């Protein structure tokens, strides 16, 4: 593809997809027909540059309508946003869900990650690929984790087309600086998201069989309906849990309020921003995404920054293999996240929130869009939230298949329309985050935990769990268990207690804690307390709460090779230790897996050297943790003995 503006023209469909998002072009400088006025001056350049953050939604718009992104479509989108084509091409090729080469309108993503591999994903893929030949009009892609691990093996069919849905006409899109062209929430700016936009159609198969996967891809209208959203199992009941309420209808705002919804927000307004931060700090709430950073400290650091505007970002891009708790929360209790984001924004002085949502979560997307729309219509979002004179609104940004975008600064780059590559720190996001402004970033589970902090009170919340790990925790249990799903236990419960609840099998071989970036433990180590400090003292990690059990029927060397393939694919390539190290790690593990005799010692020594280099010298957590699971399998499980 030519990396300069060329002569390729968009098709009518591609032009319509972009114009539905951005509005019609105002001058030939943006792609309209040339007029005499355009020969005398250039118009719209500054406004277009202020909309650089619409590059990712623009790529989604074309991909949703056509199924791939042609040179003409990319060229037209670049003209509309004044983005250099080379940069846009770099963004378009960064994400797994986009294609810059022609492909059928229907793509069937079949998960081949850890839980699905253990459940027979390789056989499923081979059978589906034999049925859906290149002439079938469906492209089969072997995919990383789809976040459906409790129903493995899983498949997701995505069909591009012209299925339209009404957009929220009052949705505002303030510029990054709140400057020229910015509008307060609710007023709209006359551009973008007016009228109708393209909506892809999706069909989820989980657990998938060859028959249901093929049916979803070729005849989605006759495919079996997707099972109801999973709900978290509360192992020890307690008042007002952060797990999804058992609502009759998760889309019904009145049902949510009847179950205590918006009680926490009303208390937040009564306490004031400083009071909310004090409650969150005193509760001991820490981040549930794996880093375990104190939430109150992060909010206080953001709120105290003199630079404005402040932003709130909810990280709903859980892409760690084995993680699906945030999906369960959004599907089963979407208004809880809207309320929690409003509280967090109020405490940190933000008036605009971004929900960065996994592109592989179609049901969660629909639920959150509906909840945000209802919130606007009922005065719970917009210029005057609950009549308190506080303005706040939420904008959803869809990811497109990039594990690295779970890292907060990579996520900011993705929203801003750049490649999702991590930034060097400092400065930290609380000082210079999204659009270079102070930003508080939390994941879904962390934010939803703010609700019981305010309704129960900080001291009552801190009494749950342990002294250093307070409150409850959601654990994603999958693999070789009888009852996979999301389990909620107070911090301090043991790994054995959790696995017994899930129905662990007698022939347990290993347990992977923390997902692909975590570590393995042996069956005789099930007394490990499930706390951040307890797992650290045991030489492993809790991560985001992934617990994957594997019995002795799962070939461990092939599982480790899949982990290495995952990190090789997901490395952004920005730093040499990770870019090269993940490739060398995969090569060594493949040699070991394919070897029939002895002789693994040299490759294991190489793995240790490469692993230490990645851990010490990589820019972000992806490279720093890419060796963890392999190292633990070698040292704790004797994987190659």
Structural domain boundaries enclosing 140? 106-161+200-222
Q: Dump pLDDT digits (tens) for 217-255.
A: 998 777 677 766 555 565 544 545 556 666 778 999 999
CB atoms within 10 A of CB 164: 12
Tokens of 41: 């001056």
Claim to verify: residue 125 and residue 246 sit in the same structural domain? no
Residues 6+ apart with CB under 8 A from 418: 87, 91
Given a cut of 80, whether residue 525 has pLDDT beyond it is yes
Task: Please give the average per-residue pLDDT across 405-418, as a whole number.
Answer: 96
Number of domains, the chain:
5
Angle at 454 between CA 453 and CA 460, to 5 degrees: 50
Bond prior to 248 in cis (omega within 30° of 0) = no
- The alpha helices in 503-600, defined as continuous H runs, are 532-537, 556-570, 576-594
pLDDT, residue 26, reads: 77
Report DSSP state, residue 52. G
User: Per-residue pLDDT averaged across 127-132, rounded?
Assistant: 93
**What is the helix (H) or strand (E) element at residue 111, kind and residue range?**
strand 106-111
CB half-sphere exposure, 486, CA atoms < 13 A? 23
Strands 393-398 and 233-234, sheet pairing: unpaired
For residues 157 and 172, membership in a common domain is answered with no
Q: Do residue 47 and residue 75 come from a single domain? A: yes
Question: What pLDDT score was predicted for residue 225?
Answer: 72
The pLDDT assigned to 60 comes to 97
Q: Point out the domain boundary residue: 516, 551, 586.
A: 551
Q: How confident is the model at residue 133 (pLDDT cuts 50, 70, 90)?
A: confident
Which residue, chain included where needed, has tokens 């985050």?
A: 433
How far is residue 197's CA from residue 199's CA, in Å, rounded to a whole number?
6
Site of tokens 């591009």: 160
Q: How confident is the model at residue 545 (pLDDT cuts 50, 70, 90)?
A: very high
**CA 548/CA 479 separation, integer angstroms:** 5
Clarify whether residues 573 and 591 are in a common domain: yes
Per the domain annotation, does 396 fall within a domain? yes
Q: Determine if the pTM surpasses 0.85.
A: yes
Structural domain contains residue 300:
yes
CATH code: domain of residue 214: 3.40.30.10
CATH code where residue 51 lies: 1.10.10.1590
- Which of 409, 430, 462 is the last residue in one of the domains? 462
Kindly state whether residue 124 falls inside one of the protein's structural domains.
Answer: yes
| Mean pLDDT of the region 547-551 | 95
pLDDT digits (tens, 9 = 90+) for 165-219: 433 333 333 344 443 333 333 333 333 333 344 567 899 999 999 999 999 999 8
Give SS3 for 29: helix
Q: Which residues share a beta bridge with 548? A: 478, 512
User: Is residue 415 located within the same domain as residue 488?
Assistant: no
Looking at residue 189, its pLDDT comes to 32
Same domain for 152 and 169, yes or no, is no
Please tell me the predicted confidence (pLDDT) of residue 169. 32
Closest CA to 260 of 316, 330, 152, 333: 333
pLDDT at 595: 75
* Residue 3 within any structural domain of the chain: no
Query: Above 70 in pLDDT, residue 369?
Result: yes
- Mean pLDDT over 557-585 rounds to 95
**640: helix, coil or strand?**
coil
Residue 43 is predicted with a pLDDT of 59
Same domain, 126 and 44: no
Question: Do 435 and 523 have their domain in common?
Answer: no
Q: Would you state the pLDDT for residue 172?
A: 36
In angstroms, rounded to a whole number, what is the distance separating the alpha carbons of residues 223 and 220?
5
CA dist 376 and 391 (Å) reads 11
Mean pLDDT within 443-468: 95
Model pLDDT, residue 188? 34
Q: How many CB atoms lie within 10 A of CB 45?
A: 12
Is there a domain that residue 458 lies in? yes
120-131: string of b/e by CB count within 10 Å (b at 16+)? ebbebbebbeee
Pairing of strands 472-479, 106-111: unpaired
Which of 4-18, 79-93, 218-232, 325-339 has the weakest average pLDDT? 218-232
- For residues 191 and 94, membership in a common domain is answered with yes
- 396 and 310 housed in the same domain: yes
The candidate with the shortest Cα–Cα distance to 451, out of 245, 230, 237, is 245
Within-domain flag for 307? yes
- CA–CA distance, 486 with 547 (Å, rounded to integer): 10
Does 83 share its domain with 111? Answer: no
Q: Mean pLDDT throughout 500-515?
A: 93
* Edge-first strand listing for the sheet containing 310-316: 393-398, 350-357, 310-316, 439-443
CA–CA gap between residue 184 and residue 191 (Å, rounded): 14
- The residue whose two tokens read 């959004």 is 330
> Which CATH number does the domain housing residue 525 bear?
3.10.20.600
The domain that holds 403 is classified in CATH as: 3.40.50.11540
Can you tell me the distance from the alpha carbon of 187 to that of 170, in angstroms, rounded to the nearest whole number?
Answer: 6
pLDDT above 90 covers a percentage of the chain that reads 77
Instruction: Please give the C-alpha separations between residue 189 and each of 180, 376, 404, in angstroms, as whole numbers.
Output: 11, 17, 32
Assess if residue 588 is contained within a domain.
Answer: yes
d(CA 52, CA 436): 14
Partners of residue 476 on adjacent β-strands: 486, 546
Residue 435: pLDDT band by 50, 70, 90 thresholds?
very high
Choose one of 551, 570, 591: the last residue of a domain. 551
**In this model, does residue 121 exceed pLDDT 70?**
yes
364 and 261 in one domain? Answer: yes
């Amino acid at each position: 593809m030519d990396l300069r503006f060329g002569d390729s023209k968009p098709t009518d469909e591609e032009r319509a997809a972009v114009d539905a998002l951005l509005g019609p072009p105002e001058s030939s400088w943006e792609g309209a027909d040339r007029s005499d006025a355009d020969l005398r001056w250039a118009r719209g350049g500054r406004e277009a540059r202020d909309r650089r953050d619409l590059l990712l939604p623009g790529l989604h718009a074309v991909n949703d309508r056509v199924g791939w992104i042609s040179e003409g479509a990319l060229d037209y989108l670049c003209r509309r946003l004044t983005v250099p084509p080379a940069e846009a091409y770099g963004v378009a090729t960064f994400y797994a869900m986009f294609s810059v080469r022609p492909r059928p309108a229907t793509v069937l993503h079949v998960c081949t990650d850890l839980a699905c591999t253990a459940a027979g994903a390789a056989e499923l893929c081979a059978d589906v690929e034999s049925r859906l030949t290149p002439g079938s009009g469906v492209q089969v892609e072997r995919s990383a984790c789809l976040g459906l691990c409790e129903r493995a093996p899983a498949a997701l069919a995505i069909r591009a087309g012209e299925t339209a849905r009404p957009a929220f006409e009052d949705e505002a899109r303030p510029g990054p600086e709140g400057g020229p062209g910015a509008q307060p929430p609710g007023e709209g700016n006359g551009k973008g998201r007016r009228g109708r936009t393209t909506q892809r159609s999706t069909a989820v198969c989980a657990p998938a069989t060859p028959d249901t996967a093929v049916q979803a891809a070729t005849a989605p209208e006759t495919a079996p309906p997707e099972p109801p959203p999973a709900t978290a199992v509360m192992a020890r009941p307690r008042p007002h849990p952060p797990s999804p309420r058992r609502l009759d209808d998760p889309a019904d705002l009145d049902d949510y309020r009847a179950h205590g919804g918006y009680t926490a927000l009303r208390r937040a307004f009564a306490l004031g921003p400083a009071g909310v931060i004090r409650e969150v700090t005193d509760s001991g709430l820490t981040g549930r995404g794996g880093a375990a950073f104190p939430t109150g400290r992060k909010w206080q650091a953001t709120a105290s920054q003199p630079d404005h505007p402040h932003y709130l970002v909810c990280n709903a891009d859980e892409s760690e293999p084995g993680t699906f708790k945030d999906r369960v929360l959004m599907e089963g209790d979407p208004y809880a996240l809207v309320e929690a984001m409003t509280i967090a924004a109020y405490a940190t002085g933000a008036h605009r929130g971004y929900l960065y949502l996994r592109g592989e979560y179609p049901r969660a997307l629909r639920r959150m869009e509906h909840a945000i729309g209802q919130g606007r219509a009922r005065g719970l979002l917009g210029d005057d939230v609950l009549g308190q004179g506080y303005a706040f609104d939420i904008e959803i940004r869809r990811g497109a298949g990039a594990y690295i975008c779970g890292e907060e600064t990579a996520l900011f780059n993705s929203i801003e329309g750049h490649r999702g590559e991590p930034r060097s720190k400092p400065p930290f996001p609380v000082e210079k985050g999204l659009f270079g402004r102070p930003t508080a970033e939390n994941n879904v589970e962390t934010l939803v935990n703010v609700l019981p902090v305010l309704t129960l009170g900080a001291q009552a919340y801190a009494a749950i769990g342990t002294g250093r790990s307070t409150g409850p925790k959601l654990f994603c249990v999958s693999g070789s268990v009888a009852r996979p799903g999301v389990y909620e236990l107070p911090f301090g419960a043991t790994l054995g207690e959790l696995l017994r609840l899930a129905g662990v099998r007698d022939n347990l071989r290993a347990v992977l804690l923390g997902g692909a970036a975590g570590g393995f433990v042996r069956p005789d180590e099930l007394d490990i307390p499930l706390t951040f400090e307890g797992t650290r003292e045991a030489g492993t990690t809790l991560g985001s709460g992934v617990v994957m059990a594997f019995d002795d029927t799962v070939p461990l060397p092939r599982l480790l090779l899949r982990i290495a393939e995952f990190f090789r694919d997901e490395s952004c390539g920005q730093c040499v230790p990770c870019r090269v190290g993940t490739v060398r790690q995969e090569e060594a593990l493949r040699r070991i897996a394919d070897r029939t005799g002895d002789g693994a010692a040299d490759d294991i020594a190489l793995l240790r050297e490469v692993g230490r280099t990645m851990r010490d010298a990589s820019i972000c957590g992806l490279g720093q943790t890419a060796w963890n699971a392999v190292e633990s399998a070698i040292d704790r499980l004797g994987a190659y003995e």
